[in-house]
Amino acid sequence: MNALANFFTRLVNRYMPDPLVIAIFLTILTMMLAVLIQGTSPLNAVRYWGDGFWNLLAFSMQMTVILLAGYILAKTPLIDGALNQIATRVKTPFVAIVVATLVGGIGSWLNWGFGLVIGGIVAQKLALNVKGLHYPLVIAAAYSGFALYGIGLSGSVPLLIATEGHFLQDAIGLIPLSDTIFPLFF
């Protein structure tokens, strides 16, 4: 298993471009498509990009605050101490992967920002305490718990479709949280 994980880690490290390069490439591709397919002038394409970029500022700050609050909560003495207790009791790499997945999943179910942060923190603590643990694998396991975000307390879709006046209300009506996030509790 370690050999396979190491192979893919080397492969990704060698060929995966930097995220900034990907963002620049996608920006240029989108502008070219706007010019060639939509007939937008290059100057207007740049103008639209600039206007859209600054319109996203409020949204990006909201996401930053959510992640920062998740970090602050994860580093409180209570949570940090609990993570230390968990990490010191784990002795094998297999159990470490399971624990990282569960902690990341439970954290993501509670709040997506908290889940992303606590998953990374528990993976780091486990890597320091468990001999032979493959660090990239435990990180991936911790972040795989993020799959529970969509059915968690901060899931965008369940919260939206339970809100009066949402954009799909005419088509699907209001769907209460008891049918989406909490079906087992009600």
DSSP state at residue 167 = T
Segment 155-178 shows an average pLDDT of 94
The residue type at 164? E
pLDDT above 70 for 185: no
The tokens of 100 are what? 């990282």
> Is 30 inside a domain boundary?
yes
Segment 46-72 shows an average pLDDT of 91
pLDDT for res 1 = 78
> Is 11 inside a domain boundary?
yes
pLDDT above 90 for 56: no
The tokens of 89 are what? 């009791």
pLDDT above 90 for 27: yes
Element (H, E) at 5: helix 2-15
pLDDT for res 58 = 87
> Is 116 inside a domain boundary?
no
> Is 105 inside a domain boundary?
no
> Is 133 inside a domain boundary?
no
pLDDT above 70 for 51: yes
> Is 76 inside a domain boundary?
no
Q: What sign does the CA torsion over 170, 153, 120, 134 have?
A: negative
pLDDT for res 186 = 59
pLDDT for res 134 = 94
pLDDT for res 55 = 84
% pLDDT > 70, the chain: 98
To the nearest whole number, what is the mean pLDDT of the chain?
Answer: 93
pLDDT for res 42 = 95
| pLDDT single digits (tens) 147-166 | 999 889 999 999 999 999 99
Q: How far apart (Å, rounded) are the C-alpha atoms in residues 122 and 101? A: 10
Q: How far apart (Å, rounded) are the C-alpha atoms in residues 185 and 30? A: 45
- With cut-offs at 50, 70 and 90, classify the pLDDT of residue 133: very high
* Residue scoring higher pLDDT (35 or 50): 35
Alpha carbon of 158 to those of 177, 181, 186: distances in Å? 7, 7, 16
| pLDDT single digits (tens) 77-114 | 999 999 999 999 999 999 999 999 999 999 999 999 99
What's the total number of domains in the chain? 1
Domain that holds residue 28: 1-55
> Is 26 inside a domain boundary?
yes
> Is 33 inside a domain boundary?
yes
| pLDDT single digits (tens) 6-16 | 899 899 889 99
Question: In sequence order, what DSSP letters do the residues of 97-138 get, joined into one string?
Answer: HHHHHHHHHHHHHH-HHHHHHHHHHHHHHHHHHSTT--HHHH
Q: How far apart (Å, rounded) are the C-alpha atoms in residues 13 and 7? A: 10
